[in-house]
Structure 1
Amino acid sequence: MFERTSVGLDVHARSVAGCALDAQTGEIIPHRMSPDYAEILAWIVSLPAPVRVVYEAGPTGFGLARFLLAAGIGTLVAAPSKLQRPSGDRVKTDAKDALHLARLLKLGEITAVRIPSADQEAARDLVRAREDARGDLMRSRHRISKLLLRQGIVYSGGKAWTGAHELWLARQHFEAPARQLTYASSLEAMHEILDRRDRLDEAITAMAYQSDYTPVVRSLECLRGISTLTAFGLAVEIGDWNRFTGSTIGAYLGLVPTEHSSGASRSQGSITKTGNTHARRLLVEAAWHHRRPYESPSRLLRSRWEEATSEARTRGHAGNRRLHNRWISYLERRKRPVIANVAIARELAGWCWSLASGTDQASPVPN
């Protein structure tokens, strides 16, 4: 609020539209540039100081923000979904977007996103590459199973996609050369994706236990359903856990209900599904594990507890008991399992926060 010049940037891959707003003279200074960082910095430095800059988060990433911050320029990256736009404005141009950002910055109406470091962004890319491999593998397996189903071939020898199932798949053969080639190429594609997924798993495991994320990963693994991949994914995607509380992290992950209240009426709907999609999916999948009875920790869980601190073990044990009891209470009230699981995931986010931030309060979310 104390800068003289507020600068809005509309950043694209091949061009950058800038607009500076001088609070002392009221002058509006538009400028169009290439995406070269040095050129952008030179224009910003030429403006009346002190200067602060904002641009929207998007596909161009955070490189420009890190560059400007390193040069001593106060820079914010705005959350696009939180920008206030006039409902009657039907003209949208790069110059108008840059001016709009500059005005919001001067008014203090920018909701900024956290700017990760280059190493944190690289770790996040690794996690998301593994997520892409998971999706590719699922689609590849669906193609194979549906190809066989169209020919009336159904596997009935136990659980699918095990070693025995893969041997059964290798024995399948078709008389038509075109169909046999299609089937062979589908199997080959699936094995290539499996190899890629395994390489990514190895890299993630190595980074999880030999990096700055290791203490958080060890603590999160004290909870049921939180494997190494899940713990590392949550640590990378959320980053700084201390910017949340046990009750606000659920809202950040989009696990709280939508609401429309007016006067004495209050109406709640499905969850908002805002925020980090990958972290939300990890928590929802982990929440299903707490439906099973929890009388004593499993051998795998005990082995993970040995690598964690005594405080994390105590918190993890308490969290596992409470989350299972919550599952039981929802089932006794005849809640739909899908809805109950989302509620468990919301509370699980609070327990993850308490472990990752080293806080003794899980701040359970109300029903």
Structure 2
Amino acid sequence: MNSIIYLGMDVHKETYNLCAYNNETGEICGETKCKADIKLVIKFIENLKKTYGEDLVVKAGYEAGCLGYFPYHQLTNYGIDCDILAPTTMARSSKEKLNKNDKLDARNIATNLANGTYKSVYVPNDEDLAVKEYIRMLDDTKIARKKVKQHINAFVLRQGYKYEGKSKWTLAHLEWLKTLPVTGLLREILDEYLSQYDDLCNRIDRYSDKLIELSHEESYEQPISHLRCFKGIDTTVAMTIHVEISDFTRFPKACAFASYLGLTPGESSSGSKTTYLSITKQGNTTVRNALVESAQALVKGTPGVKSKALKTRQKGQDIKVIDYADKAVERLQRKYRKLIHRGVNHNKAVVAAARELACFIWGMETGRIN
């Protein structure tokens, strides 16, 4: 039987810390710090094979972080088995709170690899990865627009003006901003802010149109059209959920998917006392936020009544898909109202709806809609 060495890698932009660990003997076979160059990692592995034999099997791994999937693809291209460890699932010692550095992090990754005390991050295919980056770019642009809105609101408030209309960022509000009686340099500042806002809006529209175009590609057409049958889920949200997760079959149950998204409550129990905490917020933040925003829209309206926009999205879809989505929406709307009636906070009720919406989406994506 070939011996196995587990290679823990604490990866950063400039440096890699490596730790080779033999689980059979509990021995640290080698440690080093090198530049962020995969060739140096391969050289380290080759030196291990010179010492322990050419039949040595190396299992490498590193924590998910800013480098994304790049080290993974580099190592697999060299034929090295590699896992990306989800940080929130790794076993950690309480001593780490007292003493933490890159060398110890590499050791911890190696021991987690050896003991299997972690869950690996799913690696999407190249197509999904490219679309995923495109969605992230769209989200970044939306964040930039939100900041510009905040700057404009703060600027107008500092000048002593207050909008008396019903809602901001409508055509009426924008016209009000353009006609404010500010002059000189102050007018130039406001015009520059408004120009930034218009530019970001145009870019968001362009990116959204491109995302709609991508959603009609063969690999996305059917799953995206099915997800859009849910109230509160448009093309952008549907693409975000589908591309970020990619393979829903890796979750054996709907509750496992909800747990992965961090939408399940934590627990702090001892003896006969059971205490449930707020949601764990572990896992994929992007999908969790998208589901909460969708739930905000979903719980509004009258149960059983569909808007024209939703009817348009459902047009031409399989009747089983439509019935499944409608039953899910009606159930979640009623659940939200029951929670509010019991005095549950609005945000908590929305998160509860988002958690169950995640379960229904898992059923839709895995074909379990009967």
Indicate the residue corresponding to 2:222 in structure 1. Answer: 215
| CA displacement 1:203-238 (0-9 Å, x = unmatched) | 211112225233221111111001111111111222
Structure 1 distance, partners of 2:102, 2:125, is 28
With structure 1 as the length reference, what TM-score do the two structures score? 0.90
Q: Is the 8 A contact 2:88 2:282 kept in 1?
A: no
| CA displacement 1:298-332 (0-9 Å, x = unmatched) | 22212211243333212112112211221232233
Once the two structures are TM-superposed, the CA of residue 347 in structure 1 deviates from its matched residue by 0.6
Structure 1 distance, partners of 2:92, 2:256, is 25
SS at match of 2:275: strand
| CA displacement 1:192-211 (0-9 Å, x = unmatched) | 21122122112211112225
The answer on 1:295 being equivalent to 2:296 is no
Q: How many residues align?
A: 360
Counterpart code for 2:44: W
Indicate the residue corresponding to 1:192 in structure 2. Answer: 199
The answer on 1:140 being equivalent to 2:148 is yes
SS at match of 2:255: coil
Could you tell me which runs of 5 or more consecutive residues in structure 2 were left unpaired when the two chains were aligned.
Answer: 50-55
Distance 1:260-1:22 versus aligned 2 partners, 3 A rule: closer
SS at match of 2:254: coil
Distance 1:2-1:306 versus aligned 2 partners, 3 A rule: farther
- Please give the residue correspondences for 1:100-111 in structure 2 after superposition, counting only pairs within 5 Å: 100-111=108-119
With 344-353 and 153-162 compared, the bigger mean Cα shift is at 153-162
Distance 1:86-1:23 versus aligned 2 partners, 3 A rule: closer
Indicate the residue corresponding to 2:236 in structure 1. Answer: 229
The answer on 1:9 being equivalent to 2:17 is no
- Alignment root-mean-square deviation, CA: 2.3
Q: Is the 8 A contact 1:130 1:197 kept in 2?
A: yes
With 160-169 and 342-351 compared, the bigger mean Cα shift is at 160-169
Q: Is the 8 A contact 2:265 2:279 kept in 1?
A: yes
Structure 2 distance, partners of 1:149, 1:91, is 48
* Equivalent position to 1:95, from 87, 97, 103: 103
Distance 1:85-1:332 versus aligned 2 partners, 3 A rule: closer
Indicate the residue corresponding to 2:132 in structure 1. Answer: 124
With 351-360 and 165-174 compared, the bigger mean Cα shift is at 165-174
* Equivalent position to 2:365, from 349, 352, 356: 356
Structure 2 distance, partners of 1:92, 1:164, is 55
The answer on 1:325 being equivalent to 2:334 is yes
Counterpart code for 2:78: A
SS at match of 2:121: coil
| CA displacement 1:260-308 (0-9 Å, x = unmatched) | 0111000112222222222112111211222310333322212211243
Q: Is the 8 A contact 2:86 2:120 kept in 1?
A: yes
- Please give the residue correspondences for 1:1-367 in structure 2 after superposition, counting only pairs within 5 Å: 4-23=4-23, 26=27, 28-48=29-49, 49-89=56-96, 90-175=98-183, 177-244=184-251, 245-288=253-296, 289-360=298-369
SS at match of 1:88: helix
| CA displacement 1:99-122 (0-9 Å, x = unmatched) | 332222222223222122333222
Indicate the residue corresponding to 1:364 in structure 2. Answer: none
Q: Is the 8 A contact 2:299 2:350 kept in 1?
A: no
| CA displacement 1:83-133 (0-9 Å, x = unmatched) | 333323544343332233222222222322212233322222211221122
SS at match of 1:308: coil
| CA displacement 1:6-26 (0-9 Å, x = unmatched) | 111121212222222245674
Counterpart code for 1:11: V
Structure 2 distance, partners of 1:2, 1:312, is 50
Distance 1:145-1:91 versus aligned 2 partners, 3 A rule: closer
Distance 1:19-1:269 versus aligned 2 partners, 3 A rule: closer
Counterpart code for 1:100: N
Structure 2 distance, partners of 1:276, 1:264, is 33
Of all paired residues, the percent bearing the same amino acid is: 29
Q: Is the 8 A contact 2:19 2:28 kept in 1?
A: no
Structure 2 distance, partners of 1:35, 1:283, is 36
Distance 1:42-1:299 versus aligned 2 partners, 3 A rule: same
Structure 1 distance, partners of 2:105, 2:156, is 52
> Runs ≥4 in structure 1, deviation > 6 angstroms?
none
Could you tell me which runs of 5 or more consecutive residues in structure 1 were left unpaired when the two chains were aligned.
Answer: 362-367
Q: Is the 8 A contact 1:62 1:116 kept in 2?
A: no
